[in-house]
Structure formats: structure tokens, C-alpha cells
Amino acid sequence: MADTYYVTEEGLQKLKEELDQLRNVERPQIAKMLAEARDKGDLTENAEYSAAKEAQGMLEMKIARLEDLIARARVIDESKIDTSTVRILNKVKIKNKINNLVMEYQIVPESEANLKQGKIAVNSPIAQGLIGRKVGEIVEVKVPSGVIPFEIISISTV
């Protein structure tokens, strides 16, 4: 068993729903595909059967991965999040010191990251540079395009 996997209540619920979908909808569909392909005769040269077996293997791998994540999941209590320094689930307003662009991000577990919603993964370069820092600090964040200085304007909870 690997490390603890931190997740919000909402994130854990999504994982459980996805697992339920895979087990109760997709698994029976693949079993049906296998049965239909088996009925067509010789399995050694049956491309349909081979494709269904491969899909079954991929599905079982996804199910095992989700079961592992759920088993390792620890729900983060959002009411006890400290805002004195940047931490997971904090909403952080930062200012790019080069172009003066102000951005606001929420730092979330990797599985919940969604840039369109302003949610960045805790293991992203920007989040890694911000974690543990305080309001007013200038942080040099190494990104693929170089190093960008950011000023932390505010830290809040959701």
C-alpha cells in the first residue's frame, strides 16, 4: 500500500461514483461483448473477442486503481484548514511580478485539479512553490518557461 491520498469529501464521492459506474455498468457491458464474441466461434482468430478481452483488462486495471485510491483516501476537514500559510485546499491570490497579472487558485488534490475552475494540483510547480509561504512573500516559481516571481496577496479557505 502506498502513501495516504488526501481528498475532499466531494472528491471522494466522485471517486466512489466512478467506481460504481465501472463495476455496475461497464463491467456487465464488457461481459456481454465477450459472450457475443465467444458465440461467433473460433476464439484464436476472433478479433472481436481479443478486443473485448483487452477492454476487460483495461477496465479491471481502472477498477483496481480506484479501489486503491479509495482505500488510501483521507478526507481533509475543510473547517480546520489554517490560512497563516499556503496549504492544500487554500484559495491563494497571487500577483505575477513580471506582468502584474493577478490570479486566484485553489490548491487541491491531483484528482480534483481543473484549471478552468481555478483549481491547481498540489503537485504542480506553482502550488509546490506556494506551499508553506505567507501573505506578502515573493516566491520564485520554476515553471517550464523559466522562473516567475509571484507575490502572495491573500490566503483564504473556500
Class of domain 79-156: alpha beta
Instruction: State how far the Cα of 33 lies from the Cα of 39, in Å rounded to an integer.
Output: 10
Does 5-75 carry CATH code 1.10.287.180? yes
As annotated, the residues of the chain forming the CATH 3.10.50.30 domain(s) are 79-156
Task: Identify the pLDDT of residue 1.
Answer: 42
Mind listing the pLDDT tens digit for each residue in 137-147?
A: 999 998 888 89
- Per-residue b or e along 88-109, where b marks 16 or more CB atoms closer than 10 Å to that residue's CB: bbbbbebbeeeeeeeeebbbbb
- Count of beta carbons in the 10 Å neighbourhood of residue 11: 20
Task: Identify the pLDDT of residue 83.
Answer: 80
Instruction: State how far the Cα of 18 lies from the Cα of 27, in Å rounded to an integer.
Output: 12
Report which of 158, 156, 153, 126 is spatially closest to residue 142, judged by C-alpha positions.
126
Mind listing the pLDDT tens digit for each residue in 65-88?
A: 999 989 988 887 777 777 888 988
As annotated, the residues of the chain forming the CATH 1.10.287.180 domain(s) are 5-75
Instruction: State how far the Cα of 153 lies from the Cα of 18, in Å rounded to an integer.
Output: 37
